[in-house]
């Protein structure tokens, strides 16, 4: 069912490359890595001692100081990036439109830092020392809840928790909410901050993380033969999306139009993609069908591209199965080579990147791509950003449990 047209009018971004949209975007175009040694905790005993931490972030710049202590870091990021996006969109939320503005912001793992901290407090000092804000600090939907409270957004409110596909599912689901007429504007995206002992230790136990500790900036290397796992990042990516006429009526600037959304399940394995990337392929095809677009109209794919052996190879295979001969003409890049993998925030961050790519006609590179995996033989925009007109950009997100989400953005024309 085709419904109302939906456009992107505001962006908010916090990443290991910086706080704020333009700071992160300029870093991406420069091919700069945000991966460093871990400072959030003493990682000296861990197999992985590197991550993409956010530097220079002050939650008090966006949240009342007395409210800051009631929230975990992933909520801080979500509220801050939403504040940026609402301001960028010039969106005023008041009693006249509050019920028509909603929030779909999710996280993959939520308040893991709060869980670890207050477990230690309980063991050392007893249960009476647990803060009454402990539960609201850690549950995933409190990012969306705190955002709605801050802005008085009373429309549809939800919080997807679909691992690494979370941010894309949040934006895609919000797109459908507007398309079917249940809201006129949505604050949508993902947020995450789990660079903690249990977070790093857990992924190390799965042997999922890179252990290239002596070369942090070169550790995330999607599609490269010498990759050895992903690098964890943190941050948030938020979009303001609106029904077209609503945006035009208030004179909003428009970054791009959301054209299509796909979501599928592999029904195969808890961590490994399905053989041949068939679930990912169906997801991309679904987004194209939803948009009524031909694969040849897509000029850029922001790949899931985590820097894991099977993930990168099977995503490449999926792209080839969907795009056929055009697969070798479409530009593909993984910005996780610079930001690391932001888990539940990744889809939100990469959706923002797609909108910026369309706005500026610039494709950020895949850095550290020195020796391409023979199974990964597409145009991955190696090591240097590329200037080119982008008619449409596809953002891929694939999560543990075999959950897939694809967002298709196109250049806006009325």
Q: What gap in Å lies between CA 128 and CA 412, rounded to an integer?
A: 55
Q: What gap in Å lies between CA 106 and CA 82, rounded to an integer?
A: 12
Same fold, 7-249 and 262-410: yes
Q: What gap in Å lies between CA 342 and CA 305, rounded to an integer?
A: 12
Contact 370, 384 (CB under 8 A): no
Tokens read off for 402 = 């075999």
Question: For residue 52, what is the DSSP state?
Answer: B
Pick from 310, 263, 294, 112: which is nearest to 200 by CA?
112
Coil, helix or strand for 133? coil
CA atoms within 13 A on the CB side of 237: 33
pLDDT tens series, the chain, 414 aa: 468 999 999 999 999 999 999 999 999 999 999 999 999 999 999 999 999 999 999 999 999 999 999 999 999 999 999 999 999 999 999 999 999 999 999 999 999 999 999 999 999 999 999 999 999 999 999 999 999 999 999 999 999 999 999 999 999 999 999 999 999 999 999 999 999 999 999 999 999 999 999 999 999 999 999 999 999 999 999 999 999 999 999 999 999 999 999 999 999 999 999 999 999 999 999 999 999 999 999 999 999 999 999 999 999 999 999 999 999 999 999 999 999 999 999 999 999 999 999 999 999 999 999 999 999 999 999 999 999 999 999 999 999 999 999 999 999 998
Chain mean position to CA 131: 30
Number of Cβ within a 10 Å radius of residue 370: 12
Residue 79: partners with Cβ closer than 8 Å, 6 or more residues away:
59, 62, 63, 71, 143, 146, 147, 150
The Cα-based distances of 398 to 244, 265, 395 in angstroms read: 29, 9, 10
Phi, psi of 363 (to 5 degrees): -110, 115
Question: For residue 379, what is the DSSP state?
Answer: B
Q: What gap in Å lies between CA 369 and CA 385, rounded to an integer?
A: 13
Residue ranges per domain, the chain?
Answer: 7-249, 262-410
Q: What gap in Å lies between CA 325 and CA 339, rounded to an integer?
A: 30
CATH topology for 7-249?
Peroxisomal Thiolase; Chain A, domain 1 (3.40.47)
Strands 386-387 and 392-399: unpaired
Residue recorded with tokens 């990516």 = 237
Pick from 233, 234, 255, 257: which is nearest to 244 by CA?
257
Instruction: Report domain 262-410's class.
Output: alpha beta
Q: Which residues carry out catalysis?
A: 164
Phi, psi of 400 (to 5 degrees): -55, 150
């Amino acid at each position: 069912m085709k419904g109302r047209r939906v456009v992107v009018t505001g962006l908010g971004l916090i990443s290991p490359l910086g706080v704020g949209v333009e700071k992160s975007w300029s870093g991406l175009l420069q091919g700069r890595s945000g991966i460093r040694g871990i400072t959030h905790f003493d990682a000296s005993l861990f197999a992985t001692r590197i991550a993409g931490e956010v530097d220079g972030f002050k939650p008090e710049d966006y949240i009342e100081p007395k409210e800051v202590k009631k929230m975990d870091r992933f909520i801080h990021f979500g509220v801050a990036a939403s504040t940026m996006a609402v301001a960028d969109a010039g969106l005023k939320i008041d009693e006249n439109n509050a019920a028509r503005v909603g929030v779909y912001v999710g996280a993959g793992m939520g308040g893991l830092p709060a869980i670890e901290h207050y477990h230690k407090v309980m063991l050392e000092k007893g249960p009476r020392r647990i803060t009454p804000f402990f539960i609201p600090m850690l549950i995933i939907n409190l990012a969306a809840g705190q955002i709605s409270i801050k802005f008085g957004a009373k429309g549809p409110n939800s919080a997807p928790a679909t691992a690494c596909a979370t941010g894309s599912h949040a934006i895609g689901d919000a797109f459908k909410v507007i398309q079917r007429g249940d809201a006129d504007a949505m604050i949508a995206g993902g947020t995450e901050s789990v660079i903690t002992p249990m977070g790093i230790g857990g992924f190390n136990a799965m042997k999922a993380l890179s252990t290239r500790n002596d070369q942090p900036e070169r550790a995330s290397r999607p599609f490269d033969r010498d990759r050895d796992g992903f690098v964890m990042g943190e941050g948030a990516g938020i979009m303001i999306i609106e029904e077209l006429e609503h945006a035009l009526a208030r004179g909003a600037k428009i970054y791009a139009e959301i054209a299509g959304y796909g979501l599928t399940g592999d029904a195969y394995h808890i961590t490994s993609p399905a053989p041949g990337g068939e679930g990912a392929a169906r997801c991309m095809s679904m987004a194209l069908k939803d948009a009524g677009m031909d694969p040849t109209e897509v000029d850029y794919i922001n790949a899931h591209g985590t820097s894991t052996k099977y993930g990168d190879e099977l995503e490449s295979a999926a792209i080839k199965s969907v795009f056929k001969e055009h697969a070798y003409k479409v530009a593909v890049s993984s910005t996780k080579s610079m930001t690391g993998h932001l888990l539940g925030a990744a889809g939100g961050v990469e959706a923002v990147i797609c909108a910026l790519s369309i706005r500026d006609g610039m494709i950020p590179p895949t850095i550290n791509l020195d020796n391409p995996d023979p199974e990964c033989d597409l145009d991955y925009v190696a090591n240097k950003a590329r200037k080119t007109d982008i008619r449409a950009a596809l953002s891929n997100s694939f999560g543990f449990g075999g959950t897939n989400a694809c967002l298709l953005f196109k250049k806006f024309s009325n």
